[in-house]
A and B are shown apart, each in its own frame.
Chain A
């Protein structure tokens, strides 16, 4: 089969990044990040169900700096994917496609995911009493 000798559309890096396109790829990226996070959730549940030793290992991981860094990343990813997912559901219902609306909802998604991440971690640090 010979490749068609015709003009191709420019590749992704040719285009100037815009809020709409950046949020779109971030939605996919956070989806993949959350998929990996859900494997860690199952690890934690299985550890808790298995033995004191396994649970202690899991808990010390979550208390480490890398564990906390991952949790912060997953918290933001979850709130972003949640907020932008609702934005997608509104689009699916047929609303919010005007350029100005798409930008405003994009900014709202960013503000909501940042605010919810901060709220969750303030609440988390207040609730996180070593027991």
Chain B
């Protein structure tokens, strides 16, 4: 065991939360959603290009197929999770004092997940045709 490891208490080492006291959960979720978004974002751009100027019936028809509907739902889930994590860090960096910071983060998360669910609901409505 090196001297550096000895600086942590056995409990601190077991918990593994580090100086930010939240561990690697946020960091890891940011990376997992980032990796998921690489193919999903490329699909999204190509799919939007293919539907530029589409009439409303064509959008409904597009999402009536399972694969586009599922990919759009996955894209919404990954994108909104990723952006909520990212905006949280931006708010943590720039918003003072701590009370305003926490309120801004909570508000941002409410808005992000409300939009994510609204988008998913819209896709499902078109997918199931009603």
Question: Could you tell me which A residues sit within 8 Å of B by CB distance?
Answer: 28, 31-32, 34-35, 38-39, 41-42, 45-46, 48-50, 52, 55, 59, 63, 75, 78, 82, 85-86, 88-89, 92, 120, 123-124, 127-131
B102 adjacent to chain A (CB < 8 Å): no
- Across the interface, do B31 and A38 meet the contact criterion of CB distance under 8 Å? no
* Partner of B31 from A41, A89, A123, A131 at Cβ < 8 Å: A89
- Across the interface, do A85 and B34 meet the contact criterion of CB distance under 8 Å? yes
* Partner of A42 from B60, B118, B125 at Cβ < 8 Å: B118
* Partner of A78 from B41, B87, B116 at Cβ < 8 Å: B41
* Partner of B53 from A39, A52, A55, A131 at Cβ < 8 Å: A131
- Across the interface, do B122 and A45 meet the contact criterion of CB distance under 8 Å? yes
- Across the interface, do B34 and A124 meet the contact criterion of CB distance under 8 Å? no
* Partner of A38 from B52, B56, B79, B122 at Cβ < 8 Å: B79
Question: Could you tell me which B residues sit within 8 Å of A by CB distance?
Answer: 31, 34-35, 37-38, 41-42, 45, 49-50, 52-56, 58-60, 72, 76, 79-80, 83, 86-87, 90, 112, 115-116, 118-119, 121-123, 125-126
Given A48-B60, A131-B54 in contact, is the A35-B83 Cβ separation under 8 Å?
yes
- Across the interface, do A89 and B83 meet the contact criterion of CB distance under 8 Å? no
Give the residues in chain B near A130, CB-CB below 8 Å.
Answer: 53
Cα distance A123–B52 in the bound complex, in angstroms = 10
- Across the interface, do B45 and A120 meet the contact criterion of CB distance under 8 Å? yes
Give the residues in chain A near B45, CB-CB below 8 Å.
Answer: 75, 78, 120
Question: Residue of B at shortest CB range from A79?
Answer: B45
- Across the interface, do B52 and A46 meet the contact criterion of CB distance under 8 Å? no
* Partner of B52 from A39, A45, A52, A124 at Cβ < 8 Å: A124
* Partner of A128 from B52, B55, B112 at Cβ < 8 Å: B52
- Across the interface, do A42 and B115 meet the contact criterion of CB distance under 8 Å? yes
Given A32-B90, A34-B83, A75-B45 in contact, is the A45-B54 Cβ separation under 8 Å?
no
Q: Give the 9 A-B CB pairs with smallest separation, nearest first.
A: A49-B122, A42-B119, A45-B122, A35-B83, A128-B52, A48-B59, A55-B56, A49-B125, A46-B122
Give the residues in chain B near A120, CB-CB below 8 Å.
Answer: 45, 49
Question: Residue of A at shortest CB range from B45?
Answer: A120
Question: Residue of A at shortest CB range from B125?
Answer: A49
Give the residues in chain A near B55, CB-CB below 8 Å.
Answer: 131
Give the residues in chain B near A35, CB-CB below 8 Å.
Answer: 83, 86-87, 112
Give the residues in chain B near A28, CB-CB below 8 Å.
Answer: 86, 90
